[in-house]
Amino acid sequence: MIKKSKTSLLLTLNLEHCSIETVIGLLKATTTDGTLLDQIAKLRHRDQALMEMLISHPRVMPQTFLFLYSNASADFKKRIQAIKKEPVSPANKGLVPYQGLGIEPVSTEGGIEKDHPTADKETLYQRIQKMPVAEKVQFALRAGKDARSLLLKDPNRQVSQAVLASPKITEDEILLIAQSRNVSDDILRSVGKNKEWLKNYSILFALIANPKTPVGISVSLLGSVKVKDLGLLVKNRNIPEAVRSGAQRLLYAKQKQS
């Protein structure tokens, strides 16, 4: 299992470049995690219309209220106080997320059966098709393997990238993605830029041998390929010529050194 911190998940989701529609969708979805809301607050705190939506969300964490309060106008501070129903002070910094708000964090364990009790009434594919983008992003972070495989092919970049950000995704799944010709080149590029996944040689080589991987990614990884595998790449007529030529040059140089 590949473990990631919540901070790394947020970086992968790239909330800074999310469309305004996606951000609004996340703010409207009652299941949006408090950590995502905190990141939105820090990126968009100057947008008062968005912050009005955010402070009414049931999963806002105490530290998010504190951040907004310290950066708010006098009028907006009153709005925050009214929503919070208790004084906002530096003492709140030590609060555990959700403490005192009367809610519990969303569990990330289990698949669609746990999160969606009516899953047996319609297929997984049908449920996903009905979800708005913001809900798909949230679901991708906690869904099971079957759902991840469907969400990975979603045409919306934020949804497919959220699959890679899932704390439940495994290296075996990443290897299958690296070998696949049915995923977007954007997904393959993201895999090719992840240093942790590239420590797995099978993933690294699968990316280079995949003709759909962006040429720049494949060429940049050639220096880590074993001599015998460089020979396989030279003979592989399916990969781009630039990759084959690069493999040929490296193979020649390494053979000359030995």
How does pLDDT run across 38-53, given as a tens digit for each residue?
A: 889 988 888 888 898 9
The predicted-structure confidence for 103-140, as pLDDT tens digits, reads as follows 233 333 334 444 444 444 468 888 899 989 888 888 88
pTM, whole model, 2 decimals? 0.58
Per-residue pLDDT tens over the stretch 144-183: 999 999 999 999 998 999 999 888 899 999 999 999 999 9
Structural Rg of the chain based on CA atoms: 23
Q: Encoding tokens for residue 200?
A: 């797995």
**Residue boundaries of the structural domains of the chain:** 6-94, 171-258
DSSP structure class, residue 14: T
